[in-house]
Structure 1
């Protein structure tokens, strides 16, 4: 069977992923992983092909330089690409079938402290369009346990300020309702009233750009990063708000069942990665009250 052009097929795979209605972030993660693998093959003067030994070496190279979670994600992307190539009859067999993801020591998932949450909200204070929008988004994301992509996809019809609930569409096009507080409802209401004067006010998208434009993932990332810098928060990324919201839920005494429903998780193992730091802190607090050193 003649060699296949994996670079060209990568573009075809991207078309397939869009047709499967994968999220933008999933498509970006998958294509980044495969792109880095192909670049690795070229850099190491290996055949640009799906080969088990090459993928293992690529993963080991990532583990030497990056976080283990990144290596796992990049390897998964190549494995998914390989499976698709076989399904499309571009390859006769999946040579990566059964290849295990690298194991790694689990780390406590970081979160913003309560003081940092307050500082982030204060960094949005102001009365112009961007200030009102950003405070509404920040408050919502620190409460609702949502992904950045879910926020970007929201429409004006997704919010019920009276009930304090919003609809989001998560992975797999699964819809769920997420709650938010009266303080967040007030911030959203202030934004919505100012939104009526926006050039795109008649469009259904909830969040709009301040220069008469739309507001996508890059816009969300940039504005939250800027607000975090104003608040003195280093190494900020939007997903940190989801970790923070989940851990705040558990720290406040919220149930695991409620957290799974609001966060959109299908299994406890995935949810537990988000709340492990809070569980550890509870154990430390409990230990201090046990007075085990009182002998």
Structure 2
């Protein structure tokens, strides 16, 4: 058993990705891990003479990445992939020891993701008003993600058999951590989904099991979903629009409407209640500000 070069590790990466597929990690996760490890290996070929995956090498890479302007959250995500790869290599006796098992990610400033206002949500829906396939699909997509507080990957992995308009229920087969759940939606979303499904029947790939179809290809991809969100956000005058804002907004709207925290936790597929505070931070700040103005404690 010897220290591995970046080229050795590039070959072993293929085996680890097969292992992840066996463990039923999502394709998005596998692709992301492959990309992030590839970035490290490319850097290691050029910038270090230390054994690849040594603690010194990985720490230097993280520092260089942040000095180049990467956010701590980005550095942490990339480190997570490399750390998982290193753990597997050690378990498989492909490297002498896992030197980065306890290497901590950089501290991350927790940013408050602002929830969309009701006016902005309505603007997104208005941006989809039209009779084209894309218009009908995008309205249904936005409504379902908002109301059901879905993750992006959960959304694009839905199949036709997972959505029941008669009961107003959708089944997420594999949420984060491989956990499935059922989520409910109301009449407005049902109507939008029905309009989309009628348009979908005319798609040349209508026989595919995927619920969401791109205009020219098959199942809508993560990149395609992101493109839709940016396009519709721009049409609605919303800057920095991305799919995850719909999840934050859905959680905030749940709280504002008086929904229970237990119900929100179940609907969003969170394993602990701490996520409720994180995802509803912006709306709670607004509530606190409104309460402060009502209390008027600055008056003496």
Give the TM-score normalised by the residue count of structure 2. 0.91
How many Å apart are 1:261 and its aligned residue? Answer: 0.3
Question: Which aligned pairs between 1:72-221 and structure 2 lie closer than 5 A?
Answer: 72-169=76-173, 170-211=175-216, 213-221=218-226
Once residues 240 and 40 of structure 1 are traced to their aligned partners in structure 2, the CA distance between those partners, rounded to angstroms, is: 32
Question: Which aligned pairs between 1:270-289 and structure 2 lie closer than 5 A?
Answer: 270-289=275-294
| Cα distance change, pair 42–173 in 1 and its aligned pair in 2 (3 A) | same
Cα deviation, 1:59-115, whole Å, max 9, x if unaligned, reads: 223333122211111111111111011111111211112222222332212332322
Q: Equivalent residue of 1:163, what SS?
A: coil
| Cα distance change, pair 252–127 in 1 and its aligned pair in 2 (3 A) | same
| Cα distance change, pair 276–139 in 1 and its aligned pair in 2 (3 A) | same
Task: Decide which moves more: 67-76 or 214-223.
Answer: 214-223
Structure 2 residue 9 is matched with structure 1 residue 6:
yes
Give the number of aligned pairs: 295
| Cα distance change, pair 244–61 in 1 and its aligned pair in 2 (3 A) | farther
Counterpart pick for 1:33 among 31, 36, 51: 36
Q: Equivalent residue of 1:143, what SS?
A: helix
Q: Equivalent residue of 2:147, what SS?
A: coil
Cα deviation, 1:227-283, whole Å, max 9, x if unaligned, reads: 222222222222221122112212222222111100101012234321222222221
Once residues 116 and 168 of structure 1 are traced to their aligned partners in structure 2, the CA distance between those partners, rounded to angstroms, is: 27
Once residues 60 and 276 of structure 2 are traced to their aligned partners in structure 1, the CA distance between those partners, rounded to angstroms, is: 31
User: Over aligned residues, Cα RMSD in angstroms?
Assistant: 1.9
Task: Decide which moves more: 260-269 or 93-102.
Answer: 93-102
Moved >3 Å (runs of 4+) = 45-48, 211-214
Q: Which residue of 2 aligns with 1:54?
A: 57
| Cα distance change, pair 42–114 in 1 and its aligned pair in 2 (3 A) | farther
Once residues 212 and 63 of structure 1 are traced to their aligned partners in structure 2, the CA distance between those partners, rounded to angstroms, is: 37
Counterpart pick for 2:24 among 16, 21, 27: 21
Q: Is the 8 A contact 1:109 1:243 kept in 2?
A: yes
Q: Is the 8 A contact 1:132 1:190 kept in 2?
A: yes
Once residues 145 and 2 of structure 2 are traced to their aligned partners in structure 1, the CA distance between those partners, rounded to angstroms, is: 50
Give the TM-score normalised by the residue count of structure 1. 0.92
Unaligned residue ranges in structure 2 (runs of 5+): none
Task: Decide which moves more: 182-191 or 265-274.
Answer: 265-274
Unaligned residue ranges in structure 1 (runs of 5+): none
Structure 2 residue 246 is matched with structure 1 residue 241:
yes
